[in-house]
Amino acid sequence: MKLSCALVTNVDSPQLVAEAERLGYQRAWLYDSPAITSDVWIALALAAQQTSTIGLGPGVLVPSLRHPMTNAAAIATLAAMAPGRVAVAFGSGFTGRYTLGKKPLRWAAVEEYVTALRALLGGETVQWEGAPIRMLHTDGFVSDRPVEVEVLIGADGPKGTAVAERVGDGVFAGGVPNPAAAGRPYSLLQFGTVLGDGEDVRSERVRTAAGHGLAVVFHAMYERNGPDAVRGLPGGSEWVAAIEAIPPVERHLVTHEGHLVRLTAVDEEAVALAADLLPQFTFSGTAQQLRARVAEYEAGGVTELVYQPAGPDIAGELARMMAAVGDSR
């Protein structure tokens, strides 16, 4: 099983990808959520210039954010800059949609988009929005067609997994294992931190390094299952009351602020009350505990563990995770 990393894309990401390569991470996935992150393609291009071996990819791209030709040209450009190192992941959208006040895309739309994009990368002519389109790039502008890259589908449930079977090479599962993905390339994104022996999960260090992974549970449950589901968590009633005090038309602007980067005032209170759940809902524990989790994931078919650090010391978190589980794969 590969150990890779994910980063919430910002202006420091290229340097952090270079550090991840030095530490031995096999791939770096950069998030694409324009209301929250820096531009993913700029960051990946700069990372390609600063590295030589680590795999690179955006994860996950949301079809509604860019025309398929725009992403095809970006993928082919990155493939020319980092030959043999590029992968891409597509999904129906979480913050890439919710922060714009939109629900996730229908899976049929994702499938149509990925089918078209893969055909474009293959050098084919594609019908899109009523017109034929094809990559017309002159030699030397992008990678030669066909552009061969691994394509994963960000799928947590049966509909997305079925799309991955039809048009993808594998699955990129976000936070929660997807057992149906076993038997193919299967990447699992995890958030958390390595705990020192006897370290309290309620400590400020742990909260800043792993609290994002617990806060996103509140965010996801609220959007997907409604307020009653969140109220069942410690701190859930307080979190829902604070969020629903915001006018509905603006609520999405607060719900996902600081997504996977920092805790808002609303999140701080909830995470403090639910801190005991950190080992259950995030990839947090002692080195020994995390190695046991890695073994469980590998036995369940995971082929790539993708770790996303947070807090004030991203490089340090990457180093501690590699030291904890890097030799257990």
Q: Is 327's pLDDT higher than 90?
A: no
Alpha carbon distances (Å) from 277 to 215, 234, 273, 285, 318: 11, 9, 9, 11, 22
Mean pLDDT of the chain: 97
Q: Is 224's pLDDT higher than 70?
A: yes
Mean pLDDT of 214-228: 95
Tell me the per-residue pLDDT of 225-247, one tens digit each, with 9 for 90 and over: 999 999 999 999 999 999 999 99
User: What percent of the chain is modeled with pLDDT above 90?
Assistant: 98
For residue 161, the model assigns a pLDDT of 98
Residue 199 lies inside a defined structural domain of this protein: no
Mean pLDDT of 302-313: 98
Tell me the per-residue pLDDT of 263-277, one tens digit each, with 9 for 90 and over: 999 999 999 999 999
Residue 198 lies inside a defined structural domain of this protein: no
Tokens of 180: 């149906």
Domain match, 18 and 144 both = yes
Alpha carbon distances (Å) from 280 to 19, 57, 110, 293, 325: 29, 28, 31, 11, 18
Tell me the per-residue pLDDT of 128-162, one tens digit each, with 9 for 90 and over: 999 999 999 999 999 999 999 999 999 999 999 99
Provide DSSP, 40-69: HHHHHHHHHHH-SSSEEEES-B-GGGS-HH
Tokens of 42: 């700029």
CATH number at 153 reads 3.20.20.30
Q: Is 310's pLDDT higher than 80?
A: yes
Domain match, 254 and 117 both = no
Tell me the per-residue pLDDT of 65-85, one tens digit each, with 9 for 90 and over: 999 999 999 999 999 999 999
Residue 113 lies inside a defined structural domain of this protein: yes
Domain match, 252 and 289 both = no
Domain match, 105 and 244 both = no
Tell me the per-residue pLDDT of 88-125, one tens digit each, with 9 for 90 and over: 999 999 999 999 999 999 999 999 999 999 999 999 99
Count: domains in the chain = 2
**Domain range enclosing 312:** 2-193+285-325
For residue 329, the model assigns a pLDDT of 60
For residue 88, the model assigns a pLDDT of 99
* pTM of the full structure: 0.96
Compute the C-alpha angle 168/172/177, nearest 5°. Answer: 130
Tokens of 328: 């257990």
Provide DSSP, 217-258: HHHHHHHHH-HHHHHTSTTHHHHHHHHHTS-GGGHHHHHTTT
C-alpha torsion 82→84→85→88, nearest 10 = 110
Residue 97 lies inside a defined structural domain of this protein: yes
Domain match, 40 and 189 both = yes
Domain match, 163 and 213 both = no
Largest Cα separation within the chain, whole Å, is 63
